[in-house]
Amino acid sequence: MRYLLFIAGMGGLLYGIDIGIIAGALPYLEATASVAWKLSAQQLSFIVAAVLLGSVLSSLFAGALADAIGRRWTMVLAGALFTASIPLIALSDGYLPLLLGRLLQGVSGGLIGVAVPLYLAECLHADKRGRGAALFQLLLTIGLVAAAVIGLVQANSVDSATQAAQALPAGARADAIFAAKDHAWRSIFWMCLTPGLVFTFGSLLLAESPRWLVQRGRIEQARAALLRTRAPAEAETELRDMQAAAGTVAARRNQAAAQGPGAGPSAGDIAAARGVAAPRDGSPASAPAGDSLASRRYILPFLLACLVLACTQATGINSVLAYVVNILNQAGLPGATANMADVGLKVLNAVMTVVAVLLVDRKGRKFLLMLGSAGIVVALLAAGLLFRSAEGEQRDVRSIVAAQAQGDTLTLRLDAPTLQALGAPAGDAAQLLTVSYSYGPFTNVQTRRSDDPALPAMILSRDSAVQEDSVIGAFFRRLHLNPFADPAAGRNAPLQIEQARIGALPSEAHGWQVTLAICLFVASFAVGPGVCVWLALSELMPTRIRSNGMSIALLVNQFVSTTIAAVFLPTVGQYGYAAMFFFWAGCTVVYFLTATFLLPETKGKTLEEIEAHFAR
């Protein structure tokens, strides 16, 4: 059992590394590869986004692959692809091998995101299943932290090399710094090789999912797999229910011998003869396994799982974590303090995930989702009200800002003359300027604080708003399936100032109040949705559609996440942060109601019993 959890946890670690590793490597990759290989900014963005494209593509077939070759071999394949990607990237001498390596990492991540939760749900005892999924989420979080630590180690190495090179002549100094940065990004990827090897070879030693084996008619192998984590009597009972759920009518000679010649058939035996699953609590059995895929027992849990995943993304978790430094900075915290708060939030996320690991099999999924979603609603409403109080005091200066544009660009420095022109009151109070602008369908938002010692200029240009398609966008645009704006529509569009507001910078105390609200948000998410979403994904799906249903649900998850990311900045620029927080709070209310009234408690129940619940 511990070995199974360890290997599954390593899958979560790889998933987290997949997501986070490029952040530390990108600055050095940009400083070296873009020069040596003449990479454009567009090609660099493709390298970053290739992981997401690979994940989306593999999610499309991960379920079918897991059904075809088994859960264990899908995990082995995912680990092998990740392991192969490391030398391909670290030894690359051009754009194509680097892009291919990143694409392989994305494919690996997509397979892991389906196969590992699926394997855990089908292999673990009902009383341990929640802890297994929580451990996957915990190691995923640790993977993100590990990626950041690896990047930090290499950043310190580059800083040391840069300091040592100061004594060299100019040419030699430039070569030494270039070599240090080139070594840094390659080393960042090399340091990820060990967990990939551990996961790959460790997965080879795992038993196959007993439910997959039963579906293939390999009953003895399924029994052997169950006996690795269960007592013999319990393994036989669960195996009988698996056969019933799979529509298998099989004689149970060993069970009959154990019951004695005079014993009557058990509820499971009767259920197996009818092709249904008999729950242990005597509740009505599920429908035959050969019924229509459009029946209630399949449609209802599938839609419920998709709703849970969509609501998880609609809490705004990804946008909050991605923009937390900007959010806290505009709330009133100084830049360095906001960065420290960001680190603190990541630590809090990991700590609260540990708490969730301890609680999920004791308190249950339904309770944690209700608790977590309720806490998120309170946190988002508090943050929204705090921002509304600050944003309500800002003044509209759109016409003044628009008048300073020169052609399709605008350069603005928030110095004393500019503040006077914008009508800011005289005095020492720091001012915050927020400008939302667009070029055709492309929008962007920039902010400046008058108390910034560097006082950088605000430069509104086409390049800062109109972004070429990423590798994902280009792929889907060729298929005429890209729902987002076409870069061609923004190349010749004029600069349009959508909103421009200026007001007194919120106090640092206000910033700490927002920080506390976001701490509550992150803690509530980690305890509830952060862990339970993987359980909802794997537990709710009936055995017949579990693998393919999980693939589709993950695509829904990625679609909602991408949509929220696309509308975040335009919404903030047009209506302010308060509107975004209130919108997320409304979505999370739907989440709370779903957890309260629609989601069944699955703690301590076998997958067959959960399936029987939806058949009633």
In three-state form (DSSP H/G/I as H, E/B as E, the rest C), the secondary structure along 262-324 is: CCCCCHHHHHHHHCCCCCCCCCCCCCCCCCCCCCHHHHHHHHHHHHHHHHHHHCCHHHHHHCH
Can you list the domains of the chain with their CATH numbers?
A: 2-204 (1.20.1250.20), 296-391+511-615 (1.20.1250.20), 395-506 (no CATH)
Which of the residue ranges 32-41, 174-183, 352-361, 545-554 would you say has the lowest mean pLDDT?
Answer: 32-41
Q: What is the pLDDT of residue 279?
A: 43
Distance CA 366, CA 600 (A): 7
- Average pLDDT over every residue of 485-506: 86
Would you place residue 522 in the very low, low, confident or very high pLDDT band (cuts 50, 70, 90)?
Answer: very high
Q: What is the pLDDT of residue 298?
A: 81
- Average pLDDT over every residue of 267-283: 40
Tokens standing for residue 374: 């309720």
Percent of all residues in the chain with a pLDDT value above 70, rounded to a whole number? 88
Q: What is the pLDDT of residue 40?
A: 64
User: Model pTM?
Assistant: 0.71
Would you place residue 271 in the very low, low, confident or very high pLDDT band (cuts 50, 70, 90)?
Answer: very low
pLDDT tens digits, 422-455: 888 877 678 888 888 888 888 888 888 887 776 7
Tell me the torsion sign for CA atoms 583, 584, 587, 593: negative
State the SS3 of 385-446. HHHHHHHCCCEECHHHHHHCCECCEEEECCCHHHHHHCCCCCCCCCEEEEEEEEECCEEEEE
Instruction: Enumerate residues 6+ apart whose C-beta is below 8 A from 189.
Output: 21, 25, 86, 89, 90
Would you place residue 256 in the very low, low, confident or very high pLDDT band (cuts 50, 70, 90)?
Answer: very low
Mean pLDDT of the chain: 81
Pick 142 or 201 by higher pLDDT.
201
Q: Is the pLDDT of residue 129 over 80?
A: no
Please choose, from the candidates 67, 328, 316, the residue with its C-alpha nearest in 3D space to the C-alpha of residue 216. 67
Please choose, from the candidates 207, 234, 211, 235, the residue with its C-alpha nearest in 3D space to the C-alpha of residue 223. 235
Q: Is the pLDDT of residue 282 over 60?
A: no
End-to-end distance of the chain based on CA atoms, in angstroms?
Answer: 33
Question: DSSP of 45-81, one letter per residue?
Answer: HHHHHHHHHHHHHHHHHHHHHHHHH-HHHHHHHHHHH
Pick 579 or 153 by higher pLDDT.
579
- Average pLDDT over every residue of 392-410: 88
CA 440 and chain centroid, separation: 31
Please choose, from the candidates 305, 315, 314, the residue with its C-alpha nearest in 3D space to the C-alpha of residue 523. 315
Q: What is the pLDDT of residue 45?
A: 65
Whether the CB-CB separation of 434 and 501 falls below 8 Å is answered with: yes
Q: Is the pLDDT of residue 293 over 80?
A: no
Would you place residue 263 in the very low, low, confident or very high pLDDT band (cuts 50, 70, 90)?
Answer: very low
Helices 324-331, 365-391: axis angle to 10 degrees equals 40
Percent of all residues in the chain with a pLDDT value above 90, rounded to a whole number? 18
